[in-house]
Structure formats: C-alpha cells, structure tokens
C-alpha cells in the first residue's frame, strides 16, 4: 500500500510585490513535487500584485488568493496567511514574494522528512544574492538534534535559518501555538525557530534549494538599518534563549562577546553622532533585556577607539566640529 504524499502549504504574504511575484510563483508551479497548495495573501497592495496572483489562480487551482481588509503589519500578515492553510496540510513552507524555489526544493525536503519523521524543521542551503547561506553543518548528515542546532546558532558557529524562505516546518508544531509569529518582534521568525528546536529535531538537505533576494527595499532593510535594530534583536534573542540551549559557562562567555561588540558599536555611534531616537531605542532595548546602558562602558570603548583606531576617531571628531579634510 502506497503512503499518501504529504500536503505542503506554501504561504506567500505580499505587499506591493509585483516586481518579483511572477518569478516567485512560477518557481512554485515548476516544482517536481506536485502535492502542494499555495496561499497568497495580498496585503493592501496598490500595484499590480493582485492581478499577477489572480492570473496564477486562474492557471492552477492549487493557488488561492486572499485579500486583507486593511493593511496589516508584516507579522500579522504572516499569521493571517498561516490561518488560511488547509487542515489537511502536513508542512508549511514560507516563500517570500521576492524569493524563489529551485525545482526540487519541496521534493528534497519531503524526502528528508520521510526518512527522518522526527524532523520538525527542515532546512537547506540558500543562495542569498551571490553567497551561499545556511552552511556550516557536516556535509551529508540529514538529521541533527534540535537543541544542538540551537546551541551552535547561539554560539555564532552556524546560522541555518537565514530566511523563513529557506526552511519548512511541520504543521503539528505550528498548530500547537496560539499565534505562529509573536507580534511586534522584528525577528519573530528566528524566535519561533528557537521555540521549535527545543522540542524537535532539525532536518537538512545539503543542496541549494532556495534563492533569497537581498535588496535595499525589503521590509527588513527598511526597518533595520537606520537604528541597527538587528544588533539589539540578536542580543535580546541571546538573553532569552541562551540559557535554554547553553551551559552556564557558555552563556557567560558569549554574553561577554555580545556586550563587547555592542559597546564598540555604541562608541562608534557616539563618535559619528546619532540622534535622540537612536539612543532612546538602544537605551530602552538594553534596559528591557536586563542590561541597562552604561555610559562608563561607552566612554571606555571610545577611549579604546582613540588608541586602536585613531584615524577613524579623528576623521569623525573633526567632521562634527565642521572641519573636513580631503
């Protein structure tokens, strides 16, 4: 008796994604694995996104298009998309509208889950721009204890979930949660990985199966760069999940690394000159994480910069005085 192929639900939440959406959905249509559905959520787009999505729905009834009533925040839009997944679905495959899948992506990931039923999260190499991401795991090994993956990630040795588009998640794990992603967290996708890895194994395909587009107009780029939100978010994730995966000695060692790097960045920011919004964000964020901003540490890092990076310090100090050199 043949075992039925598991249904994979691909979700594509999109806002004004006409530039890349057709390429994204074409990659779904080109999958060698055919037992899938694709849930597209058009989140208040003002461009041609809806028309492109509707065209694919007319072509193949495995595509389904939903429209949000109002423009939702990014995390809420993802949660809305997950809520539209079929009850028969076994796996969720997020695919952002500016990314695409290589033809054997779903097939290769399903094969890992068939051979390793304990795998709740499945990853693979991703091509992000021109660089291969999600590397660092032993080649040829397809199953890893989830806690070991969480540990190695928090130690900074690997990063196997570079983008939500690079992983596939078992639906029974998602259905246990009231919300898939927690609102108001920039890196809610990473947070949910740490939650899942505490209770499930990590499957891996040592092949490039997804393409992750990197561009300045992405939602993450727009939110992260002005304030360097990623620096604080990664520190906050470490503070919350480090004790779940690391020994006390590893937590202490890695905490020193995080704080040293954070204060080097703050010292550079003080020399360059940042606005009140920037300092309020990092001051409040560090306090929230349990490590209030230390003016003495910022001062010490600046003094270290004077010694170790005198040209950088002089250049920006003079610029703030209105003196510009060649």
Q: What is the pTM of this model?
A: 0.90
Residues 73, 173 within the same domain: yes
Taking residues 170-185, report their average pLDDT.
92
Residue with tokens 């890695």: 254
Q: Among 190, 222, 254, give the residue marking a domain's end.
A: 222
Domain region containing 271: 226-320
Residues 29, 75 within the same domain: yes
Residue at 1 is within a domain: no
Give the residue, 317 or 106, on which the prediction is more confident.
Answer: 106
pLDDT of residue 324: 57
Helix (H) or strand (E) holding 169: strand 168-170
Q: Which among 79, 25, 20, 28 is positioned nearest to 45, based on CA atoms?
A: 20
Q: Which among 138, 176, 170 is positioned nearest to 157, based on CA atoms?
A: 138
Residues 94, 151 within the same domain: yes
Per residue in 232-260, pLDDT (tens digit) is 999 999 999 999 999 999 999 999 999 99
Residue at 2 is within a domain: no
Structural domain total, the chain: 2
Residues 116, 27 within the same domain: yes
Residues 94, 142 within the same domain: yes
Cα separations in angstroms, 244 against 51, 89, 169, 197, 251: 46, 30, 21, 10, 10
Query: How far apart, in whole angstroms, are the C-alpha atoms of residue 155 and residue 288?
Result: 22
> What does the mean pLDDT of the chain come to?
92
CATH number for the domain including 111? Answer: 3.90.550.10
pLDDT of residue 1: 37
Residue at 325 is within a domain: no
Residue at 149 is within a domain: yes
Query: How far apart, in whole angstroms, are the C-alpha atoms of residue 89 and residue 80?
Result: 16
């Amino acid at each position: 008796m043949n075992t039925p192929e598991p249904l994979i639900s691909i979700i594509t939440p999109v806002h004004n994604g006409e530039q890349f959406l057709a390429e994204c959905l074409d990659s779904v249509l080109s999958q060698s694995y055919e037992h899938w559905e694709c849930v597209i959520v058009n989140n208040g787009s003002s461009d041609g996104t809806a028309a492109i999505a509707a065209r694919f729905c007319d072509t193949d009834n495995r595509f389904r298009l939903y429209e949000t009533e109002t423009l939702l925040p990014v995390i809420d839009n993802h949660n809305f998309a997950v809520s539209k997944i079929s009850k028969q679905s076994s796996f969720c495959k997020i695919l952002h509208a500016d990314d695409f899948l290589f033809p054997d992506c779903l097939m290769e990931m399903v094969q890992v889950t068939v051979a390793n039923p304990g795998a709740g999260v499945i990853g693979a190499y991703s091509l992000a721009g021109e660089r291969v991401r999600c590397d660092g795991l032993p080649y040829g090994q397809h199953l890893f204890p989830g806690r070991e993956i969480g540990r190695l990630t928090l130690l900074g040795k690997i990063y196997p979930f570079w983008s939500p588009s690079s992983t596939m998640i078992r639906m029974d794990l998602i259905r246990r949660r009231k919300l898939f992603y927690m609102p108001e967290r920039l890196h809610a996708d990473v947070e949910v990985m740490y939650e899942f890895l505490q209770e499930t194994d990590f499957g891996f395909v040592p092949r490039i199966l997804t393409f992750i587009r990197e561009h300045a107009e992405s939602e993450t780029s727009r939110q992260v760069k002005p304030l360097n939100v990623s620096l604080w978010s990664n520190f906050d994730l470490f503070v919350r999940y480090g004790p779940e995966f690391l020994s006390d000695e590893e937590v202490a060692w890695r905490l020193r690394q995080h704080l040293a790097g954070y204060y080097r960045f703050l010292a550079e920011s003080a020399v360059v000159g940042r606005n009140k919004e920037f300092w309020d964000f990092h001051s409040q964020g560090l306090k929230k994480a349990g490590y209030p901003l230390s003016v003495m540490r910022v001062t010490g890092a600046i003094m270290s910069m004077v010694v170790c990076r005198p040209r950088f310090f002089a250049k920006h100090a003079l610029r703030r005085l209105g003196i510009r050199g060649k």
